[in-house]
Amino acid sequence: MFARLTGLVGRDLLRDTIAYSVGIAVAGASFGALATAQGLQWWTTMAVSVLVYAGTAQFAALGVAASGGGPLAVVATGLVLNLRHVPYGLSVGHLYWDRWWTRLLGTQNLLDTTTAFALAEGDDLRRAKIAYWTTGAGNAIAWIAGNLAGIAAGRQIASPEAFGLDAALPAIILALVLPALRDRSTLLACAVGAAIALATSPFLTGGLPVLLALAGLAFAWPPKEPEEAQR
């Protein structure tokens, strides 16, 4: 069965999906443990993870709630962070906008990872669809399984953040994007975006520095071809 799966998906994509899913599981465990330690009921934590299904926004919202923020502040934090899904949908929406049920599942599956893996396949529509759904399935299974493990651990650990579990997902993402940083324009865009996020973090609420960091994409814009080359 594994051989058939490898043949359908591809060894490289399957390997990367498994590697990323391990990080997602650890991050999911971190969220489950932190939410439980903050007093959330297990079913509330699982409902948020299944219905909201946005790890970054969930962590941010949990932080706002833990610091005393009201419901409006929590919702606003999630909305601001998830504004990035608008360009995601414009980029890969054609991969799942076929039937009503694929629209529902595909929209729920619209994540940083699924978008990145799908776009990495270029103009190959078949491979892009496989990447989109494969990474999405791995992400969903790992996130839910990690949440369940974290909820169980959160009842026993007073301060889950002391173990550094909340840093696991950023570390995995960094490892995945490192090869892309060989491109000079990509590296420059990432460096500018990181500088903007670091500079604004002390002054802005969670989520806004990340959005402002998107300004770094201006440095990755493809250069305009000379008119002679276009001819």
* Residue 4 banded pLDDT, cuts 50, 70, 90: low
- Identify whether residues 211 and 132 lie together within a single domain: no
Boundary residue ending a domain (181, 202, 219): 181
CB atoms within 10 A of CB 159: 9
Q: Are residues 176 and 189 in the same domain?
A: no
Pairwise CA distance, residues 29 & 145, whole Å: 8
Alpha carbon distance 87, 90 (integer Å): 5
Q: Give residue 38's domain range.
A: 2-181
**Each residue's pLDDT tens digit, 160-196:** 555 655 565 566 556 656 777 777 888 888 889 889 8
Q: Looking at the structure, tell me whether residues 155 and 188 fall in a common domain.
A: no
Q: Residues 206, 150: one domain?
A: no
Shared-domain flag, residues 56 and 125: yes
| Ramachandran quadrant class, 226 (left: phi over 0; alpha: psi -120 to 50; beta: rest) | beta
pLDDT (tens digit per residue) in 32-65? 888 887 788 899 899 989 988 888 788 877 777 7
Structure tokens at 202: 């002390």
Q: How many domains does the chain have?
A: 2
Cα–Cα dist 82/145, whole Å: 23
Per DSSP (E only), the strands in 21-159 are none
Q: Which band of pLDDT confidence, cut at 50, 70 and 90, is reported for residue 121?
A: confident
Percent above pLDDT 70 for the chain = 77
146, 161, 181 - which closes a domain: 181
Asked whether residue 228 falls in the same domain as residue 141, the answer is no
Residues 131 and 206 reside in one and the same domain: no
Same domain, 176 and 193: no
Whether residue 92 is found in the same domain as residue 33: yes
Residues 13 and 122 in one domain: yes
DSSP summary character for residue 98:
S
CA distances from 142 to 17, 18, 172, 222 (A): 10, 9, 14, 36
Q: Is the same domain home to 172 and 189?
A: no
